[in-house]
Amino acid sequence: MAAPPAYLDECVDLTLTEGLRLRGFTVTAALDEGQLGRDDDEQILHATRHGWIIVSHNIRHFERWHRTFRSRDISHGGIILLPDTGPISRLTLRAAMMLDWIGQQDYRSKLFKWGDLQMVLTQSFRLPGYSEDEVRHALGQQ
């Protein structure tokens, strides 16, 4: 299964868009889509209408919206939550790894956090196409 196309919430550094595109991912952002200033639920629904998984740093709000959507039986295109710490190279690598990882499973209407992938990486799981140096960088070990 291929990595899903991604939609970056407005709180995500736009540098990430280009970094992911250079790695071969299909990605757009709230700015590209004229969605700046929209509420989080509107962002999720916009991404869902286009078949995109949304990427955000806004963990608290998007966890809440995921729970709300589930309780109301509303489907969404999936949510990736990444911490906004560290250099852009680490953020780009983490986002790329998350997209490749969740592309191997059913991701629609699910919520994925960096910590989920981080945990399996620390237990020796490896994604095809990523070097040990990249894994260490993503894990903040270098």
Q: What is the pLDDT of residue 142?
A: 78
Tell me whether residue 41 is in a domain: yes
The answer to the question of residue 100 being in a domain is: yes
Is 11 within a domain? yes
Nearest to 105, CA basis, from 68, 47, 53: 53
pLDDT in tens, 26-56: 999 999 988 888 998 999 999 999 999 999 9
Query: Would you call 78 exposed, middle or buried from its count of C-beta atoms within 10 A (0-12, 13-18, 19+)?
Result: buried
- Structure confidence at residue 104 (pLDDT): 84
User: CB count, 10 Å around CB of 116?
Assistant: 15
* Parent domain of 24: 6-114
Query: Within a domain: residue 130?
Result: no
Total structural domains within the chain: 1
45 phi, psi to nearest 5 deg: -65, -35
Residue of 61, 45, 60 lying closest to 7 (CA atoms):
45
**pLDDT (average), residues 72-92:** 94
Report if residue 142 sits inside a domain.
no
Chain segment 94-110, per-residue pLDDT in tens? 999 999 999 888 899 99
Q: What is the CATH number of the domain that holds 66?
A: 3.40.50
Q: Which helix (H) or strand (E) holds 18?
A: helix 15-22
The reply to whether 135 falls in a domain is: no
- Which pLDDT does position 34 carry in this prediction? 87
* Residue 139 counted as domain residue: no
In the chain, which ranges are E strands?
A: 6-8, 27-29, 53-56, 79-81, 111-113
Residue 1 lies in a domain: no
